[in-house]
Amino acid sequence: MGKKKAPDYSITDIRLEDCLPIRQRVLGPTLTQDECRVPHDETACHLGGYLNSDLIACVSLFRLDADTVQLRKFAVLPEFQGHGLGSLIIQSTFERCREQGFTLMTLDARVTATGFYDKHGMTPVGDIFFKGTIKHIRMIKPL
């Protein structure tokens, strides 16, 4: 039996408008694409995860101060979850943020996703809180 070929994933900067359909489908299926925008989106760095030439994931990075970056709106299309692209993206964001001089990453994780972030060295801080009806917890990682 031959070895299974790894998927041809790539990560690159994308426009906010490219993120919105994925955000809507994964994070806010009852919202319009416009309602999937968040404050300061226009100044954030948006990254896209591709399989071959198809955009299948996105994440947005927001500068909070000179040392801290916030990861928001991380979404991988459901049919591609669990195949390694999310891990590739999160590691890529850590490297990119380190290169840009950030020393701390923070995010508000859905409680259902904390295992993924924990696996990548992020630590929960504080108490569980709600965004709408969804339980979240703040997580941090020194870079």
In sign, the C-alpha dihedral spanning 73, 77, 78, 81 is negative
How far apart CA 91 and CA 55 sit, in angstroms, is: 18
The pLDDT of residue 3 is: 62
pLDDT > 70 fraction of the chain, expressed in percent and rounded: 96
Phi, psi of 89, rounded to the nearest 5 degrees = -65, -45
> How large is the average pLDDT for residues 78-95?
95
Contact (Cβ atoms closer than 8 angstroms) between residue 122 and residue 115: no
How far apart CA 47 and CA 29 sit, in angstroms, is: 21
* pTM for the predicted model, two decimal places: 0.92
Find residue 110's DSSP bridge partners.
Answer: 136
How many angstroms separate the most distant Cα atoms in the chain? 52
What are 13's two structure tokens?
């900067």
Average pLDDT, the chain: 95
Q: How confident is the model at residue 7 (pLDDT cuts 50, 70, 90)?
A: confident
How far apart CA 67 and CA 91 sit, in angstroms, is: 18
How far apart CA 45 and CA 40 sit, in angstroms, is: 10
Reported as a single tens digit per residue, the pLDDT across 29-65 is 999 999 999 999 999 999 999 999 999 999 999 999 9
How far apart CA 64 and CA 69 sit, in angstroms, is: 5
pLDDT at 4 over 80: no
